[in-house]
Structure 1
Amino acid sequence: MKTTPSVPARRFSRLAWAGAALCASAALGSNALAQTKTLYIGMNGGQMEKAYTQYVFPAFEKAYGAKVVVVPGTSSDILAKAQANKDKPQMHVMFLDDGIMVRAINMGLCEKQRDTPVLKDIYPAARLKNDMATGVSLGMTGLAYNKKMFTEKGWAAPTSWMDLADPKYKGKVVFQSMPSSTFGLHGFLMFNRIQGGTDKNVEPGFKAWPNTIGPNVLEYIPSSAKISEMVQTGEAALFPLTPTAVAGLKAKGIPVEYAQPKEGSVVLMVAQCVIAKNSEPELAQKLTEFLLSPLAQANVLQFGDQIPTNPKAPVVGNGVEQVKLINGYMKNAVTVDWDAINEQRPGWNSRWNKTIER
């Protein structure tokens, strides 16, 4: 259960805002209060939007005399908007899951981020495609489970991706749809690996699914938004999810826990990029730089459970334990070949819709 931030934590947050505003103001100089400009940033709604809107963007807005407006949506939604308006972008910056971000870069939708000192501070893995995008938060897709149901039934916590195929969970597995969810894609790819497949060959996974995990699935959901409700109604026992998402649900009193599969979780970063041909390229670059700063990342960790990609971000309160756990999970986390996946994914999506969710 998430606790109220301690006095030192609240004091740190105030200092973080003041420090971030001061640093940015110094960089901006006398132009800080110039004509107000609006930047539109595409990102997930919910907890992420709330954390950035309340605890990160205000310092940037104050320092640069700008306004940051969130365009909420899933990564697929945001990518579609960017693609539809690529010749005259309606957004300036976008957050996408790393795999979808690689697709966006290959589509020419991103502008290279400037070489600034903060780029040297973030984890090397957070610098994507020659700095065409950068990771703003670090996570991984593993398994989550309904703690209340598991306790009542005397079930041990899951330990493997293959637990999704355990007959005792028949009608109690909820799985995100692979075409629309990175969580679902990650879960399927890990199952495929266990069956002997690779990121270039998913035949083993598709062949084995109908007789293993398939019969256990109650519902294929387009995103994770329904999981909260399905846990509370006792419909969902087991599902792919990230530690960050689990922390967010627990903070709302939802009885869920995260479990790291023995085969490994899948690294999942939320990445940002400056949208190519946007109307405010200079200010958009400043925003992406600001969002990688230690103080901005510290606030979004404290108030949004987003794990920093900048190791210089100060960690306080609940964040200390969260960062420690993530570092432990990273020891056997795996990465996937996004270029190979994106090349074949349209065919996979069609096959999934015809054979899995038919």
Structure 2
Amino acid sequence: MNLPSRFLSTRRTALCLAAAAACFSTGAALAQTKTLYIGMNGGTMEKTYTENVFGAFEKANNVKVVVVPGTSSDILAKAQANKDNPQMHVMFLDDGIMYRAIGMGLCEKMQPSQALNDLYPTARFKGDMAAGVNVGMTGIAYNKKMFAEKGWPAPTSWMDMANPKFKGKVVFQSLSSSTFGLHGFLLFNRIQGGTDKNVEPGFKAWATTIGPNVVEYIPSSAKIAEMVQTGEAAMFPLTPTAVGVLKEKGLPVEYVQPKEGSAVLTVGECVIAKNSEPALAHKLAQYLLSPEAQAAALEHGNQIPSNSRTKATGASAALVAQMNQYMKTATTVDWDTINENRPAWNARWNKTVER
């Protein structure tokens, strides 16, 4: 059938208009989906948040949350390198490194919210420049299999690491690169009569106490799993959460709360200053402090909640109850003093301990 050219022209115009409208509609939908980048530890934490926590926020806000994985030191370095043109919107950092980030002007003040008000006091950073997303403490972890085979009783004190029977079996994280190592050293220093402002007793006593028993100083805790499996590691500073991760992998490790106490370790979050999506970034930060988000992180990743209203049941409730018991003898460290003196401590540690 031969159609009039005028009809064909009209039909072609209609098709073109329909195609253009479809393209415009698709483009508009794509434009509405924004991406937020969040720096945090990789591995278990990244998997927990990506698979079980971010989804509800993404759906409610038509946004994609992408993790930039790395240690706290890695994330801080990236944020500092891009200070004037941030590539991330929110970052998770261990508390000590978070205080450094705040001092560098990398964080915006948290916006007021109910979730912020419901945090445990230890999770509120000075001036609300950051807030804790989970809480924990650095104590002692030990190789349960090795202790059983040797007939050794479970450790109870930081000074057990100085017992000659553990010569070549203690693993210690580097003071210069690990919060676990720094915490362990500072608590040892307190036992020796020092304070966070005076570490002379700790440095003086190290070489004749714990030092001779250390088989290796490691930059982070990533190598601990391997050293437990090979029988190289008997004891090491670690958190209950990190111990839980190792146990889930089938490793024979246990956590103990030293009689002298542990050091509070909070993973904080902050909204990065000058980021490209400040409103959305603050909205994400508030969501991650909510009882709903923290309940999911607890259930799927053993992330101990910082929000006092977070509900927990079953095994998760038991874990929280145990952590609350540990918290009774957990102490805080003076991060202002530490960050002021840490470069000098690092240099001394690298020269006299890890030489």
Which one of 74, 77, 80 corresponds to residue 77 of structure 1?
74
Query: In structure 2, what is the equivalent of residue 87 of structure 1?
Result: 84
Work out whether residues 88 and 278 of structure 1, in 8 Å CA contact, stay in contact via their aligned partners in 2.
Answer: yes
- Shift, 1:317, TM fit: 2.8
State the match for 2:343 in structure 1: 346
**2:174 corresponds to which of 170, 173, 177:** 177
CA distances 1:116-173 after superposition (whole Å, capped 9, x unpaired): 1211111122110211100000000000000000001010010001111111100000
Q: Give yes or no for the alignment of 1:246 onto 2:238.
A: no
Deviation, 1:206, is 0.6
Question: Radius of gyration: which is bigger?
Answer: 2
SS at match of 2:176: coil
Residues 174, 239 of structure 1: 8 Å contact kept: yes
- Answering whether residue 140 of structure 2 is matched by residue 143 of structure 1, we say yes
Which of 88, 91, 111 is the matching residue for 1:114?
Answer: 111
Stretches (4+) displaced over 3 A: none
Q: Is the 8 A contact 1:33 1:64 kept in 2?
A: no
Q: Which residue of 1 aligns with 2:23?
A: none
Q: Secondary structure at the match of 2:267?
A: strand
1:356 aligned partner: 353
Q: Which residue of 43, 60, 70 maps to 1:63? A: 60
Aligned to 1:289: 286
Cross-structure match for 2:121 = 124
Matched, 1:255 2:248: no
Listed one character per residue, the Cα deviations across residues 333-355 of structure 1 (whole Å, up to 9, x for unaligned) are 11010000000000000111111
Counterpart of 1:86 in structure 2: which amino acid? K
Tell me how far 1:33 sits from its aligned partner: 9.5
Which of 292, 295, 298 is equivalent to 2:295? 298
Q: Distance in 2 between matches of 1:79 and 1:179?
A: 15
Read off the aligned partner of 2:151 and give its amino acid letter. Answer: G
Name the TM-score, length of structure 1 as normaliser: 0.90
Cα contact 1:143–1:259 (8 A) shared by 2: yes
CA displacement, residues 260-316 of structure 1 (integer Å, 9 cap, x when unaligned):
000000000000000001111110000000001111000100111110001111102
Farther-moved stretch of structure 1 (32-41 vs 321-330): 32-41
What is the root-mean-square deviation in Å for CA atoms of aligned residues? Answer: 1.3
How many equivalent residue pairs? 328
Contact conserved, 1:136 with 1:291, CA < 8 A, in 2?
yes
Amino acid at match of 2:42: G
**Corresponding residue for 1:20?**
none
Letter in 2 for 1:230: M
1:279 is matched with 276
In the aligned structure 2, how far is the partner of 1:318 from the partner of 1:70? 28
Consecutive unaligned residues of structure 2, counting only runs of 5 or more, are 1-28
CA 1:34 to 1:312, structure 2 compared with 1: closer, same or farther past 3 Å?
Answer: farther
SS in 2 for 1:309: coil
Choose which of 294, 312, 319 in structure 1 pairs with 2:316.
319
Counterparts of 1:226 and 1:356 in 2: how far apart (Å)?
19
Look up the equivalent residue of 1:49 and give its one-letter code. E
Q: Retained in 2: the 8 A contact 1:33–1:65?
A: no
What secondary structure is seen at the aligned counterpart in 1 of 2:207? helix
Q: What percent of counterpart residues are identical?
A: 75
Matched, 1:332 2:329: yes
- The one-letter code of the counterpart of 1:285 is H
Residue 168 of structure 1 is matched in structure 2 by: 165
Matched AA of 2:230: T
Question: Which stretch shows the higher mean deviation, 189-198 or 119-128?
Answer: 119-128
TM-score under structure 2 length normalisation: 0.91
1:190 maps to which of 178, 187, 193: 187
Query: 2: CA distance between counterparts of 1:93 and 1:275?
Result: 5
- For 2:93, what is the secondary structure of its paired residue? strand
Structure 1 stretches lacking a partner, 5+ long: 1-31
